[in-house]
Structure 1
Amino acid sequence: MTDYADAPAVIPARMLNEFVYCPRLFYIEWVDGQWADNADTTRGDLSHASVDARGGRMPAPGDEDRPYTTSSVRLSDEELGVLAVIDRVDHVDGGCSSVDYKVGHPGPDGEPWPADRAQALVQATLLHRAGYEVVSADLYYRETHSRVSIPWRDDLEDEVRELVTRARETAATLVPPPPLVDSPRCPRCSLVGLCLPDEKNALLGRVSQPKRLMVRNPDQQPLYVTEQGSYVGCRGGQILVTQKGETLARHRVLDVSSLCVFGHVQVTTEALWKLWEAGANVMWFSYGGWLNGWAQGKPSGYSELRRRQVAAHAQGSAVAAAMISGKIRNQRTLLRRNAKSDVSGAVAGLGRLAAKATTATAREDLLGFEGAAARTYFDRFASMLSCDQAISDAFRANGRNRRPPLDPVNASLSFCYSLLVRDVVATCLAVGLDPYIGVLHRNRYGRPAMALDLAEEFRPLVAESVTVSLLNTGQLRSSDFRSSSVGTALTQQGRRTLIAGYERRMATELKHPVFGYSVSYRRALEVQTRILAAVLIGELDAYTPLTTR
């Protein structure tokens, strides 16, 4: 017998609708607590606006003084284990009918869709169990302005009970139900970008030929505030950046994926609340670009994922080997593509180290391969630079260094790495992973180990690529850096240039090497994070890093 004693006492009728439509959708939304809007869900919200407000008196069972109709009736039944907000209850001739509003149209045979039928039956069952004389369970489809009635029979309550039992059994499992295969339901599902049905089916070998999948690049973008002494507030659904009474920038809250503030910048409580409500987080950086911390709204309720994440950290994981192998292969590709001199020996050496990393079982061996690859790679890094001779010579003399960086190349790399880690932290929070608990990097105070793990394969693809490109094209020049006895830092203008270059890179599309569709680097980062979560939870057997050729 399945143990679901810890599950909530009642399931919303809307969740039973989702369960019939797709058990995996039900699990992601109700158990994992994940949600995303699309055009259809927004239309549904607007459609219900006229009936969501309570209207009319709900008479007691048997009351002869009845209104014609009652809107937004809330009922629950703990013994049955369901609750519902019924859009409308019509009272006619001593009986009543539940009416559920739907945006679309009925099925091709004029009957309700199975998921709609289930939700309507739950509502009618609640009325019946509350003592009302139920005539029918009705659905009103706005697209066709048609009303479909399901005549009430007492045996329909048994059908609802069986549905609730199956939903509870599914919710009690530790691994989500598998994705639907080639289902016409997936393209219009608001959670397709979270569920990744076709990607996971491809990795599981459940489809022979992956089709073009329904992922889209995010509409929201990070908002960076670097002006010292500025204030970030909120007014009328907009984020306002002001300084000494002057408005520097104005952005809609719904367009902001995260707020990134550098140095001495104040953020109002109202702005924090509005950003959290929209699912955005706030990141605080030092003036020089070091990620100091972040604030988020209510964290993900997917506790089982975090438990598995802790177990993977404690036991070690083949995921770490895949990540480091992917990073080395991407270093090899970047060097091979951009070197201005013969680097064939280094390229071959990186290829061998990537192969060894793939099969590494001990963490110490893996770190050894990574360290050897880093030495080979950064020894040849200057061969990719065709910028100011003084900048490239300084890097040749210093090599890779940090905290503080000693030359413009290292200053640019460190700043880009911070931006990348910021993006990975935000993605981890959205997916439900703990940014601090890694599978490769050691957990230390203030160190987002999981974010650093996931960033590894993206360092050459994004951070190092941006640095090389901006320096070689002259967008970053010596005048964009300030050197002192303690190191080298970007100027205000240099930071703006590098942030702009970084955002262009994250918006650049590539052909995904595994799935074959075009996707931005920012969206690819989210896909990789969700694939990692699927590996940790047991949906997938192995982690596949993102590599380019």
Structure 2
Amino acid sequence: MLNEFVYCPRLFFLEWVQGRFEDSDDTVIGRAAHRTVDQERGRAPLPGEEQLKRARSVWLSSEQLSVTARIDVLEGKGNSVIPLDVKKGSPQADGKPWPSDRIQSIVQALILREHGYTCDHAEVYYATPRRRVTVPITDAAASWARSVIDEARRTSDQIQPPPPLIDSPKCTRCSLAGICLPDETNLLIGHLQHAPHRILPRDPDSRPVYVTEAGSTVGIDHGQITVRKENKVLAGFRLIDVSQLALFGRVQVTTQALHELFEHNVPVLWFTFGGWLRGWAHSPPTSYAELRRRQTLAHAQGGLGIAANMITGKIRNCRTLLRRNRADQTGPVDALRTLADKTQSCTSFSTLLGLEGTAARLYFDAFPSLLDQTEVASRFAATGRNRRPPRDPINALLSFCYALLTKDLVATVLGVGLDPYLGIYHRTRHNRPALALDLAEEFRPLIADSVVLSVVNNHKISANDFITRAGGVALTPDGRRALLHAYERRLDTTITHPLFGYQISYRRTLDIQARILAATLIGELPEYRPMTTR
């Protein structure tokens, strides 16, 4: 962690305080280079016991400095010892070790001295040039190391993370760049004047796995998630390719599979057969308790400014959807613009609720005009928006897509370290993921409503894909699969981000908005900025 602190204090805060970590090519290669020295080998006797020759992965702690260190290689040389730290890269151009590597070696030497060893220098082995570099342990070096430890400890006690680096080459290959959002954060707080660099997705290859086959069982077999029914394998997925597991209806999951999924931070979400989100399981939340405390305060005191911006984003996106699909809808379009402007001057939640309700009524009154008048769409104009249960096919499609969107945002806020139940705009109710519903507001027209328009107007869904029971309408298994495919395609659609100017998928945008919200709650950003398209 001291290595990370010297490299970038914000990176140290994200890893040490918030408990964040993401792999990159560099971290994977680094682990491979470290594989040999991570194995505990050789004796490491204390001074006076016997001669120390060579030991690997020696773990020591310091009472004076209140730090611990695992020394890669500890070599004996006469009456003294030499700690050797292994790095995958190269030293600086002048042949000296990087400051972040130097701090580790100095602290290791100080810990060894505290345990009675004689240590006048340390060494860093750089794997790329296959060369050792000496680190002298002088009084000045020891004093610098102690000051770094004290500064790191003060930083870890802060509420907010240190500010991001500005236009630093260090961010380019940092594995946490997609979590840190250095350029995005600097742009929002006014520290960056140019368009941010395109962020790197944390894991662009992993995707949700949906299991809809009644009576099937999800298990784990040699690193693969398998779906079986009656001793027959229906499907298999590499664990590293799975971002979440969604189970619909009567589907089982084994304890062994749950353990592996939680080990890889993959949430499991349970739905009813009809698509209602019933609950989820996830690995323990991040250790950044201050974020959840701030979320609780915002929930208890009411974050009207954040809520108003969320609803402003929703109304503007609804207006954009109407304007893009029907040029003759000038009345509702103008009215929605007026309502969006009014939300910015709200002085109470009751007023905000009234404006949002009026906007929803205007929007869904105009929504039927966006649909081809097929048999699927024919009943929506007469019934309007309804649910629990939906009474026509369009409402069944909308409700299912809203449940999917809520599911994705539950997984997202859990990954960020927020509590999905403690909302800001939506009030807390039993089994209601209020915060996920808050973030879903601005994405309903962009993702869910757009998917419904697409499958209906492109005839991907027909009347045969629905079943009616006691007046309620639900999707058949085939209809549900068709809608799931359309929904996932929509999430993979890339757009130009209106704030940051780069190309990004809707899937990645969900994560960014959750992180903007988290940064707003802890005071790092002055206000929440919703995702709105032009």
Q: Note if 1:167 corresponds to 2:152.
A: yes
Aligned to 1:86: 71
Equivalent-residue separation in structure 1 for 2:347 and 2:489 (angstroms): 37
Q: How does 1:452-491 map to 2 (within 5 A)?
A: 452-491=437-476
Judged with a 3 Å threshold, the aligned counterparts in structure 2 of structure 1 residues 85 and 397 are, in CA distance, closer, same or farther, namely same
| 2:316 aligned residue (318, 326, 329) | 329
Equivalent-residue separation in structure 1 for 2:531 and 2:236 (angstroms): 35
Q: Note if 1:356 corresponds to 2:339.
A: no
> Shift in Å at residue 78 of structure 1?
2.5
> Could you tell me which amino acid in structure 1 is paired with residue 267 of structure 2?
N
Equivalent-residue separation in structure 1 for 2:110 and 2:287 (angstroms): 30
SS at 1:259 equivalent: strand
> Shift in Å at residue 361 of structure 1?
2.5
> Shift in Å at residue 391 of structure 1?
2.4
Equivalent-residue separation in structure 1 for 2:80 and 2:287 (angstroms): 41
Equivalent-residue separation in structure 1 for 2:136 and 2:348 (angstroms): 65
Q: Note if 1:400 corresponds to 2:385.
A: yes
Q: Note if 1:268 corresponds to 2:271.
A: no
> Could you tell me which amino acid in structure 1 is paired with residue 117 of structure 2?
Y
Equivalent-residue separation in structure 1 for 2:120 and 2:427 (angstroms): 64
Aligned to 1:232: 218
Aligned to 1:296: 282
| 2:487 aligned residue (502, 505, 514) | 502
Aligned to 1:10: none
SS at 1:166 equivalent: helix
> Shift in Å at residue 387 of structure 1?
4.6
Equivalent-residue separation in structure 1 for 2:100 and 2:348 (angstroms): 49
Partners of 1:199 and 1:213 within 8 A in 2: no
> Could you tell me which amino acid in structure 1 is paired with residue 291 of structure 2?
L
Equivalent-residue separation in structure 2 for 1:172 and 1:287 (angstroms): 47
> Could you tell me which amino acid in structure 1 is paired with residue 481 of structure 2?
R
Q: Note if 1:247 corresponds to 2:233.
A: yes
- Which segment is superposed worse, 427-436 or 38-47? 38-47
Q: Note if 1:71 corresponds to 2:60.
A: no
SS at 2:372 equivalent: coil
> Could you tell me which amino acid in structure 1 is paired with residue 345 of structure 2?
T
Equivalent-residue separation in structure 2 for 1:287 and 1:484 (angstroms): 13
Judged with a 3 Å threshold, the aligned counterparts in structure 2 of structure 1 residues 141 and 215 are, in CA distance, closer, same or farther, namely same
- Which segment is superposed worse, 256-265 or 313-322? 313-322
> Shift in Å at residue 362 of structure 1?
0.7
Partners of 2:5 and 2:152 within 8 A in 1: yes
Partners of 1:285 and 1:291 within 8 A in 2: yes
> Shift in Å at residue 62 of structure 1?
3.2
Partners of 1:62 and 1:132 within 8 A in 2: no
**CA deviations over 1:306-361 (Å, ceiling 9, x no partner):** 1101111122220100000000000001111112x721101000010011112212
> Could you tell me which amino acid in structure 1 is paired with residue 321 of structure 2?
L
Partners of 1:16 and 1:118 within 8 A in 2: yes
Aligned to 2:503: 518
Equivalent-residue separation in structure 2 for 1:219 and 1:83 (angstroms): 36
Equivalent-residue separation in structure 2 for 1:107 and 1:361 (angstroms): 57
Q: How does 1:373-412 map to 2 (within 5 A)?
A: 373-388=359-374, 390-412=375-397
**CA deviations over 1:242-270 (Å, ceiling 9, x no partner):** 11111111001111111000000000000
Partners of 1:99 and 1:138 within 8 A in 2: yes
Equivalent-residue separation in structure 2 for 1:546 and 1:151 (angstroms): 52
Q: How does 1:76-225 map to 2 (within 5 A)?
A: 76-216=61-201, 218-225=204-211
Partners of 1:387 and 1:473 within 8 A in 2: no
> Shift in Å at residue 148 of structure 1?
0.3
> Shift in Å at residue 155 of structure 1?
4.6
SS at 1:393 equivalent: coil
> Could you tell me which amino acid in structure 2 is paired with residue 163 of structure 1?
V
Equivalent-residue separation in structure 2 for 1:330 and 1:196 (angstroms): 24
Q: How does 1:427-438 map to 2 (within 5 A)?
A: 427-438=412-423
SS at 2:295 equivalent: helix
User: TM-score by structure 1 length?
Assistant: 0.95
User: TM-score by structure 2 length?
Assistant: 0.98
Partners of 1:411 and 1:489 within 8 A in 2: yes
Equivalent-residue separation in structure 2 for 1:393 and 1:222 (angstroms): 33
> Could you tell me which amino acid in structure 2 is paired with residue 495 of structure 1?
R
> Shift in Å at residue 486 of structure 1?
3.2
Q: Note if 1:287 corresponds to 2:273.
A: yes
> Shift in Å at residue 137 of structure 1?
1.1
> Shift in Å at residue 154 of structure 1?
4.3
Partners of 2:166 and 2:186 within 8 A in 1: yes
Equivalent-residue separation in structure 2 for 1:134 and 1:197 (angstroms): 39
Aligned to 2:2: 16
Aligned to 1:338: 325
Partners of 2:51 and 2:76 within 8 A in 1: no
> Shift in Å at residue 95 of structure 1?
1.0
> Could you tell me which amino acid in structure 2 is paired with residue 330 of structure 1?
N
> Shift in Å at residue 150 of structure 1?
1.2
SS at 1:386 equivalent: coil
SS at 2:468 equivalent: strand
Q: Note if 1:414 corresponds to 2:392.
A: no
> Could you tell me which amino acid in structure 2 is paired with residue 241 of structure 1?
V
**CA deviations over 1:149-178 (Å, ceiling 9, x no partner):** 112234533222111110011111111110
Equivalent-residue separation in structure 1 for 2:268 and 2:187 (angstroms): 35
> Shift in Å at residue 393 of structure 1?
2.1
Equivalent-residue separation in structure 1 for 2:373 and 2:117 (angstroms): 80
Q: Note if 1:32 corresponds to 2:18.
A: yes
> Could you tell me which amino acid in structure 1 is paired with residue 242 of structure 2?
V
Equivalent-residue separation in structure 1 for 2:438 and 2:38 (angstroms): 45
Judged with a 3 Å threshold, the aligned counterparts in structure 2 of structure 1 residues 387 and 110 are, in CA distance, closer, same or farther, namely farther
> Shift in Å at residue 59 of structure 1?
1.9
SS at 1:258 equivalent: strand
> Shift in Å at residue 64 of structure 1?
4.5
Give the gaps of 5 or more residues in structure 1. 1-14
Equivalent-residue separation in structure 1 for 2:421 and 2:456 (angstroms): 33
Aligned to 2:519: 534
Aligned to 2:528: 543
Percent of residue pairs identical? 52
> Shift in Å at residue 465 of structure 1?
0.2
SS at 2:129 equivalent: coil
Equivalent-residue separation in structure 2 for 1:121 and 1:516 (angstroms): 44
> Shift in Å at residue 302 of structure 1?
1.1
**CA deviations over 1:413-449 (Å, ceiling 9, x no partner):** 0000000000000000000000000110010110000
Partners of 1:387 and 1:474 within 8 A in 2: no
| RMSD over equivalenced CA pairs, Å | 1.1
SS at 2:171 equivalent: coil
SS at 1:201 equivalent: helix
* Aligned structure 1 segments of 4 or more residues deviating by more than 4 angstroms: none
